[in-house]
Every structure is written in C-alpha cells, then in structure tokens.
Structure 1
Amino acid sequence: MTSTKTNKIIFWTTTVIIFIMEGVMPALTSQTEIAKEGIRHLGYPEYFGNALVVFKILGALTLIIPQVPKRIKEWAYAGFAFDFIFASISHFAIDGMDFQSFFPLIFLGILIASYISFHKLNKSN
C-alpha cells in the first residue's frame, strides 16, 4: 500500500507542476510583450505562440482532470514531450548551450515522472 501512496504523491506533485507551468502560466502571461518577444526570438510567428498556448492549456487540463479518458491523457503526455523536446532544440539552435536550452529538458523529466506514476497507479486499480 505504501508504494501506491508514494505513486499518488509523485503523480499529483509532478502533474500539478506541469499544470501550473504549462497551463496556468501561459494562460496568464501569453499576451505579455516578453512572451511575444520570446516567440519572435526563436523565429516563430505570433500565431504559432497563440496556438501553442491553446494546446498547452488544453493539455494541462487533460492531465489534471481525473475523469478524462486514459487514451486522451496519452496524447497530452505525447504533446508535452514533443513541446519540451522541440523547445530545447529551438533554444539550442538560436541561443547555443545555455540554461534556456536545458530548461525544457528539466520539465521533460518532471513529465516523465508524472507519466510513469500515472501508469503505476492505473496498474494498481
């Protein structure tokens, strides 16, 4: 039973971090000038940033709402994994080897922990 409790703690902690950083923060800050400049800096058009925010919010809600079917959650996990990997690649291409290039990979690690604990919890149900 202890491992189920540990998995629940890991799942909810990591998933809430993803929800806040990829759902709440983009919703609150996406229209600020610094966010728009960040998208331009990477060479993407503004509409790409707007579409990305919509999908981030939908994905974050998908992960945090327990009633969402598991198959849909799998798509959200995949979408965030692609987002973090390509964000890292974009920063490496534009900025070189700096912290911003590695930062998305930190969140990829958090996402992986959420994903693994999600599956462990669903095996125990």
Structure 2
Amino acid sequence: MKKDKIIYWVTTSLISIGSLLAVYWYFTDTKIVESYKHFGFPDYFRVQVGISKLIGAIVLMAPFFSAKVKEWAYAGFGILYISAAIIHYVVGDPTANVIVPLINLVILAISNFYFSKLNSINK
C-alpha cells in the first residue's frame, strides 16, 4: 500500500510539474509560439492547450476533485500526449520530439493505474 502511494504520487507529480512548466513556457517562450506555427496551428490553440494543461495539473494534484473528474484529466492528458507525438512525427521533427510525449504517456498510464488501484482499495 505504501509503495503504491509513493509510485502514484511520484508519477502524478512528474506529470503535474511538467505540465506546469509547459504552461509557463507556452505563455513566455517565443520558441513555443514558433513551434505551433511550424505545426500549422493557430496561436489560440497554443493558449487553449496551455490553459488545459494548467487545469489538468490542478485537477490531478488537488485532493478535493472526484475520481470521475480526475479520470477526465487523465483522458485529456492522454489525448494530448498521443496528439503531440503524432504531430511531431508528421511534421518531420527529430525522433526525440516524438518519443518525449510517449514517455510522458507511459508515466501518465502508471499514475492512472496506481490511482485506480488506490481508489479501489479505499472503497
């Protein structure tokens, strides 16, 4: 049980902290603005993704959100990471740019697995 909580909190923290850092970069780093142009996306989509990451990180870390709301956050992050890997692949970015979102997806899956495991124990 203790090991499960540690794995859950480490993986969830990695996802949330990474997302919060990304939010900061989405709104301050001109390289991110240029990368969204490189992808062919309008600038408002960068803002939308940044806000979504902020909300998702808060939902995953805050204990007062219900399990159902947290599952939606997991789904949103999953879609985001899969989409990021695909777009990096499609535009011909380096392999590392394709792999990083997939690594995040694995960390997210581990977090979700332990979230579900801990939630079923608590019922």
TM-score by length of 1: 0.93
Per-residue deviation, 1:97: 5.8
- Asked whether the 8 Å contact 1:95–1:101 carries over to 2, the reply is no
> Residue type matched to 2:55 in 1?
L
> Residue type matched to 1:75 in 2?
W
For residues 56-115 of structure 1, the C-alpha deviation after alignment (integer angstroms, 9 at most, x for no partner) is 100110000111011110100000000000000000000256110111000000000000
> Residue type matched to 1:56 in 2?
K
Q: Which residue of 2 aligns with 1:46?
A: 43
**2:57 corresponds to which of 52, 55, 60:** 60
Measure, in 1, the Cα distance between the counterparts of 2:33 and 2:88: 15
> Residue type matched to 2:25 in 1?
T
Q: Which residue of 1 aligns with 2:21?
A: 25
Q: Which runs of 5+ in 2 are unaligned?
A: none
Q: Which runs of 5+ in 1 are unaligned?
A: none
Structure 1: 4+ residue segments shifted above 3 A? none
Residue 32 (structure 2) pairs with residue 35 (structure 1): yes
Q: Which residue of 2 aligns with 1:95?
A: 92
Give the aligned length: 121
Measure, in 2, the Cα distance between the counterparts of 1:27 and 1:66: 21
Deviates most, 30-39 or 4-13: 30-39
Measure, in 2, the Cα distance between the counterparts of 1:96 and 1:39: 13
Measure, in 2, the Cα distance between the counterparts of 1:110 and 1:74: 15
Q: Provide the identity percentage.
A: 36
Task: Report the 3-state secondary structure (helix = DSSP H, G, I; strand = E; otherwise coil) of the residue aligned with 1:95.
Answer: coil
Measure, in 2, the Cα distance between the counterparts of 1:59 and 1:84: 13
Measure, in 2, the Cα distance between the counterparts of 1:46 and 1:81: 22
Per-residue deviation, 1:42: 1.2
Measure, in 1, the Cα distance between the counterparts of 2:45 and 2:24: 17
